[in-house]
A and B are shown apart, each in its own frame.
Chain A
Amino acid sequence: MADKVLMKGNEAIAEAAIIAGCRHYFGYPITPQTEVAAYMAKKMPKIGGTFLQAESEIAAINMVYGVSSAGKRVMTSSSSPGISLKGEGLSYLAGADLPAFVVNVQRGGPGLGGIQPSQSDYFQSTRGGGHGDYRMIVYAPASVQEMASLTVKAFESADKYRMTAMILADGTMGQMMEPVDLDALKVNPAPEKPWATTGTDMKREHNIINSLYLKPEELEKVNFERYERYKTVEANEVMYEEYLMDDAEICVAAFGIAARVSKNAINVARAKGIKVGMIRPITLWPFPKDVFKKAAEKAHTFISVELSMGQMIEDVKLSTECKANYVLCNRVGGMIPLPEQVLECIENAAKGEQK
Chain B
Amino acid sequence: MKTTEYLFAGFGGQGILFAGKFAAYKGLIENKQVSWLPSYGPEMRGGTASCSVIIGDEPVGSPIVSKPDVLIAMNLPSLDRYEDSVVPGGMIFADSSLIERKVKRDDVKVFYIPATKLADENGIGKLANMIIVGKILKEMDEYNEESVIAALKKVVSAKHADMLDINLKAIKTGFEN
Contact = CB atoms under 8 A, between A and B. Distances in A.
Interface of A: 4, 6, 31-32, 115-116, 171-172, 175-179, 257, 260-261, 263-264, 267, 336, 338-339
A264 B62 contact: yes
B37 interface: yes
Given A260-B62, A261-B64, A338-B64, 8 more contacts: A31-B41, A115-B40, A172-B37, A176-B36, A177-B36, A177-B37, A179-B34, A264-B62
Contact of A6 (B21, B38, B41, B66): B21
B38 A179 contact: no
Interface majority SS on A: helix, strand, loop or mixed?
mixed
B41 A336 contact: no
A32 B29 CA distance: 28
A153 B64 CA distance: 27
A343 to B, nearest CB: 12
Given A178-B35, A179-B34, A172 B25 contact: no
26 contacts: A6-B25, A6-B34, A6-B36, A115-B40, A115-B42, A116-B41, A171-B40, A172-B37, A172-B63, A172-B64, A176-B36, A176-B63, A177-B24, A177-B35, A177-B36, A177-B37, A178-B35, A179-B28, A179-B34, A257-B62, A260-B60, A260-B61, A261-B62, A261-B64, A263-B61, A336-B64
A260 B54 CA distance: 13
A116 B37 CA distance: 13
Given A4-B28, A6-B21, A6-B25, A263 B35 contact: no
Contacts of B42: 115
A6 B62 contact: no
A116 B41 CA distance: 8
Nearest to B29: A4
Contact of B40 (A31, A179, A260, A261): A31
Nearest to B58: A267
B4 to A, nearest CB: 15
Contact of A176 (B25, B28, B35, B66): B35
Contacts of A264: 61-62
Contacts of B21: 6, 177
A261 B25 CA distance: 23
Interface in B81-138: none
A193 to B, nearest CB: 38
Contacts of B36: 6, 176-178
Nearest to A175: B40
A257 B37 CA distance: 12
Nearest to B39: A175
Interface string B39-54: 0111000000000000
Given A6-B24, A338-B66, A32 B61 contact: no
A177 B33 CA distance: 12
A264 B64 CA distance: 11
- B34, B62, B66 — most chain A CB neighbours (10 Å): B62
Interface in B4-31: 21, 24-25, 28-29
Contacts of B35: 176-178
Contacts of A32: 40-41
Nearest to B32: A179
Contacts of A178: 34-36, 60, 63
Among A176, A177, A178, A336, find the residue whose CB has the most chain B CB atoms closer than 10 A: A177
A351 B82 CA distance: 33
Q: What 7 A-B pairs have minimum CB-CB distances, sorted nearest first?
A: A177-B36, A264-B61, A176-B37, A261-B62, A263-B61, A115-B41, A260-B62
A351 B4 CA distance: 32
Contacts of B37: 172, 175-177
Nearest to A260: B62
A217 B158 CA distance: 62
A175 B177 CA distance: 34
Contacts of A261: 61-62, 64
Given A31-B41, A175-B38, A6 B64 contact: no
